[in-house]
Chains A and B, each alone.
Chain A
């Protein structure tokens, strides 16, 4: 029974997450409260964990909630349910895209959408930046945050540095310089 609830709840979460990001947290919370899968304190924990672990927050939350409420089986059911809407909708849209992508209308449409994506990625950088740079942090913390962000930007934008190596390097520098 709980497996069915997990499947239904997380399928719905996957289906109604549009544009990704933290917008879906409200929906996750609503479903969790409705079924009492985990406690409100555990929900706060999930948000904290999702921030420091790789991968989409929806997948992280599904695995965590599923595991806490019904073990490994629950984790697998909830995680499958949350990605199933992606699989279905992408298959449908991908077919249509392959079929029409050479038409003049679709070409013009994407010529307008590409700059939007640039603006959205720029906005993401700005918003993640203001969330990361905390004026209440110590001077050295602020300084190192700025240096790491700046060096990463320069290396990846102009020197084709491998982003994965940069992340590993930043983690090591962080271990040494942050208090």
Chain B
């Protein structure tokens, strides 16, 4: 029992930290998750995180919330999912409640806007690094490289919703790899 509670608590804390430092949308969360879940705690493999990240974008809800619930469920069942969920949203709730009361001071604070310019610049590098690190494990052959390039172009041009890009990739994977029989 104590051990279980400890597991939930650790999940809560790890996702609290991730939630507190996820600026600039769900994609910026990937490097933080990789660092905490794969490198620091060894709770999952890098490829598994990518699979979860893809699933999280394919179901309703915010990517960050979905990813947290997925990982929590996978590690510690239902209550783990709930612990990760509360962890990832608590920093947002607390910060927004504070800002909602002091909005006018917040808006014109020059120090905050300078610090935030620094964070914004770092987030660009962070997401680019996540793409490179993910690519090392996920792109195993020329087919994968082509799929990644097509997904990049489709996403930047915005011609079809992201979910459809993922579904297309899944269909392509089934057609290509299953026929080749390369994947166990």
Mark A residues whose CB is within 8 Å of B. Answer: 14-23, 45, 48-49, 51-60, 63-64, 67-68, 72, 75, 79, 82-83, 85-87, 89-91, 93-94, 97-98, 101, 104-105, 107-129, 132-133, 141, 144-157, 160, 162-164, 166-167, 169-175, 177-179
Contacts and interface: CB of A to CB of B under 8 A. Distances in A.
Nearest to B72: A90
A97 to B, nearest CB: 6
Given A109-B173, A132-B120, A163-B32, A121 B147 contact: no
B115 to A, nearest CB: 4
A60 B96 contact: yes
B43 interface: no
B24 A53 contact: no
B155 A120 contact: yes
Interface string B134-148: 110111100111011
Contacts of A127: 156
Q: Rank and list the top 9 A-B pairs by shortest CB-CB distance, nearest first.
A: A112-B173, A174-B118, A119-B151, A55-B92, A152-B125, A86-B61, A116-B169, A56-B62, A170-B122
A148 B111 CA distance: 18
Contacts of B152: 119-120, 122-123, 126
5 contacts: A14-B62, A94-B55, A119-B149, A163-B21, A177-B118
Contacts of A101: 51
Given A115-B169, A175-B111, A120 B151 contact: yes
Contact of B148 (A116, A132, A167): A116
Given A20-B25, A59-B62, A110-B173, A124 B127 contact: yes
Interface residues of B, number: 113
B19 A55 contact: yes
Contact of B27 (A57, A64, A82, A121): A121
B39 A167 contact: no
A163 to B, nearest CB: 5
Given A20-B62, A124-B127, A115 B144 contact: yes
A72 to B, nearest CB: 8
Nearest to A98: B74
Nearest to A67: B100
B121 A149 contact: yes
Given A94-B73, A123-B152, A141-B117, A85 B51 contact: no
B89 A115 contact: no
Contact of A157 (B55, B69, B129): B129
B19 to A, nearest CB: 6
Contact of A120 (B66, B88, B113, B162): B162
Contacts of A150: 125
A64 B124 contact: no
Given A109-B171, A114-B144, 20 more contacts: A16-B60, A17-B61, A17-B62, A53-B23, A54-B95, A59-B89, A72-B97, A90-B81, A104-B178, A109-B173, A112-B177, A118-B135, A119-B153, A128-B123, A129-B128, A132-B121, A132-B124, A170-B121, A172-B118, A174-B114
B111 to A, nearest CB: 6
A18 B54 contact: no
Contacts of B173: 108-113
Contacts of A49: 96, 99, 103, 106
